[in-house]
Chain A
């Protein structure tokens, strides 16, 4: 290009092709960036697989086929929550503090590309977690699954991560920087326990069983069980609840992000 371009060429808008490419580039960069960071990928993938291996497989090695399925679904939900909560919440909290978000807002990044990029990243991380758990479940716990069941299970995880992305985003807008991982863990671990992901709900006290429907993870667990052919109720109420949670958290977070930055 000639060096006189600025002065002579009038400003032209973005073509829709370039705009689309910008969204794709943002998502690609976000994925590359986190998948190259062992500090993010290792805890997110190893934590749930290790939990599943120890408590879902080793401690239940005599389990019948239904228990094995139930455990796979529960630990799947536990595994999927973390890329959403941590991938979104912690990274947003950090980037609000270290100035990356400010720079991105000053640059002409297309609207929403930042959040979409993180969403794609969290969905991919969720798929990886689900694949690892499936491999353990089928290989070691002898869970019998058809190909389509396995695929639906993975897709459930990839979409199921989204309400937790929104919750993570809300936390990320409320807490700044280093405080975020602690706050996220305070939500992640109790919520997992209270929605019966570690110990089946039926083994928990009555009071806890009764409040379980408050937690989004309890609804995702029902969907995950359904994907493995163990659904106890129709899927759509759970889908609606998760959708409502996702949209609600997102709107709150977006409002706060616009106001506070």
Chain B
């Protein structure tokens, strides 16, 4: 990692307990300028706690939390961030432009109303009351409020919940545009394809610690599984005995193989059945990697 890249926020050795429950257990996390970091993990992994600490909503029991080199509760630090929370209620009798103007007033050098609305795709909703909007439209308004202050760091907590595919694609495009401008983004999401599509770096949390971090590709590599699918009448039981095949199944005319060395398996497979057809080879996605990682951590816990 390039040490000259500016750190915009960090958690170091952070511990946070709620009574007997340890939500964060010595968490280290760094956010760099212009980087999109996806924070993943099963429920209760500590994602919300980490975000709440960075936003200055709660205090750590131990360790250090910094936002632009300051305490996150310092308002000057928070003037450089934008926030979109997961459960966000906004005053229902105000119009979209009133909500935007109010939020813009909190920042030293906000975007214009028109620019903010355009970036979030709410230009046509400005005169509507918030209560009259659909769930997806409300989410877009919340996104507009998050970006209107020209933030250098944007917190997006499950931003696309309740959005249709089209709205989601537009939001992704807007997020990419923000990161291209140098804005760092912290994204938590349940949609792994969202992290796959956007994130430069993925951090997987489990039980209040970092289970794994790296690029999407690095995370995928953690699960060295490739799926091979084809039509062939080779015997499944014989295939299961081949080296580098961890699983072999038959699904009607199709064969499904899992391998950690697909090139070798494929060469042998094509030799063994010259009539083989409809070949598909696919690497494990983030979904498989994520499932694998969090399953390991659960198993570890049971063993302990």
Chain A contact residues, CB within 8 Å of chain B: 1, 3-7, 9, 11-15, 18, 21-22, 25-26, 29, 32-34, 36-37, 95, 98-100, 102-103, 105-111, 261
What separation, in Å, do the CA atoms of A181 and B147 have in the docked complex?
Answer: 35
On whether A6 and B108 interact (CB within 8 A), knowing A100-B91, A105-B57, A108-B78, the answer reads no
Contact indicator A106/B56 (Cβ below 8 Å): yes
B contact residues, range: 35 or more
Contact indicator B106/A109 (Cβ below 8 Å): yes
B4 within 8 A of A: no
On whether A29 and B91 interact (CB within 8 A), knowing A14-B79, A22-B106, A106-B56, the answer reads yes
Chain A neighbourhood of B33, CB < 8 A: 7
From B58, B85, B152, B181, contact of A11 by CB (8 A): B152
From A3, A32, A37, A98, contact of B98 by CB (8 A): A32
What separation, in Å, do the CA atoms of A5 and B108 have in the docked complex?
Answer: 13
Chain A neighbourhood of B152, CB < 8 A: 6, 11
On whether A108 and B57 interact (CB within 8 A), knowing A29-B91, A99-B85, the answer reads no
Chain B neighbourhood of A3, CB < 8 A: 177, 181
Known: A22-B106, A33-B93; 10 extra A-B contacts, CB below 8 A, are: A5-B181, A7-B33, A7-B34, A11-B152, A26-B105, A29-B94, A95-B89, A98-B89, A106-B56, A106-B81
On whether A110 and B75 interact (CB within 8 A), knowing A102-B57, A105-B57, the answer reads yes
B258 within 8 A of A: no
21 intermolecular pairs with C-beta atoms under 8 Å apart:
A1-B115, A4-B181, A5-B150, A7-B33, A7-B34, A12-B108, A15-B108, A25-B102, A29-B102, A32-B98, A100-B90, A100-B91, A103-B85, A103-B88, A103-B90, A105-B55, A106-B85, A107-B83, A107-B106, A108-B79, A111-B75
Chain A neighbourhood of B87, CB < 8 A: 98-99
Chain B neighbourhood of A102, CB < 8 A: 57, 85
Give the contacts of B84-130 with A (CB-CB under 8 A). 85, 87-91, 93-94, 98-99, 101-103, 105-109, 111-112, 115
Q: State the Cβ distance, A261 to closest chain B Cβ, in Å.
A: 7
B76 within 8 A of A: yes
What separation, in Å, do the CA atoms of A11 and B151 have in the docked complex?
Answer: 10
Chain B neighbourhood of A14, CB < 8 A: 79, 107-108
What separation, in Å, do the CA atoms of A36 and B155 have in the docked complex?
Answer: 31
What separation, in Å, do the CA atoms of A70 and B177 have in the docked complex?
Answer: 66
From A6, A13, A99, contact of B89 by CB (8 A): A99
On whether A25 and B105 interact (CB within 8 A), knowing A7-B181, A106-B56, the answer reads yes
Q: State the Cβ distance, B55 to closest chain A Cβ, in Å.
A: 4
Contact indicator per residue, chain B 55-89, by CB within 8 Å of chain A (1) or not (0): 11110000000001000000110111101010111
What separation, in Å, do the CA atoms of A11 and B99 have in the docked complex?
Answer: 24
B182 within 8 A of A: yes
What separation, in Å, do the CA atoms of A105 and B98 have in the docked complex?
Answer: 19
What separation, in Å, do the CA atoms of A180 and B124 have in the docked complex?
Answer: 37
What separation, in Å, do the CA atoms of A3 and B108 have in the docked complex?
Answer: 17
B289 within 8 A of A: no
On whether A21 and B105 interact (CB within 8 A), knowing A110-B75, A261-B57, the answer reads yes
Contact indicator B181/A6 (Cβ below 8 Å): yes
Q: Which of A9, A21, A108 has the most CB of B within 10 A?
A: A108
Chain A neighbourhood of B112, CB < 8 A: 1
Contact indicator B108/A7 (Cβ below 8 Å): no
B149 within 8 A of A: yes
What separation, in Å, do the CA atoms of A103 and B90 have in the docked complex?
Answer: 9
B198 within 8 A of A: no
Chain B neighbourhood of A36, CB < 8 A: 93-94
B183 within 8 A of A: yes
Chain B neighbourhood of A32, CB < 8 A: 93-94, 98
Q: State the Cβ distance, A173 to closest chain B Cβ, in Å.
A: 16
What separation, in Å, do the CA atoms of A203 and B76 have in the docked complex?
Answer: 58
Chain B neighbourhood of A7, CB < 8 A: 33-34, 181-182
Chain A neighbourhood of B182, CB < 8 A: 4, 6-7
What separation, in Å, do the CA atoms of A103 and B68 have in the docked complex?
Answer: 20
Contact indicator A25/B108 (Cβ below 8 Å): no
Chain A neighbourhood of B88, CB < 8 A: 99-100, 103
What separation, in Å, do the CA atoms of A12 and B108 have in the docked complex?
Answer: 7
User: What 9 pairs across the A-B complex have the smallest Cβ distances?
Assistant: A7-B182, A98-B89, A36-B93, A25-B105, A108-B78, A108-B79, A106-B55, A22-B105, A33-B91
What separation, in Å, do the CA atoms of A3 and B118 have in the docked complex?
Answer: 13
Chain A neighbourhood of B111, CB < 8 A: 1
Write the chain A residue with the least CB distance to B51: A106
From B34, B103, B109, contact of A9 by CB (8 A): B109
Contact indicator A13/B108 (Cβ below 8 Å): yes
Give the contacts of B221-266 with A (CB-CB under 8 A). none
Q: State the Cβ distance, B268 to closest chain A Cβ, in Å.
A: 52
Contact indicator A12/B109 (Cβ below 8 Å): yes
Chain A neighbourhood of B79, CB < 8 A: 11, 13-14, 108
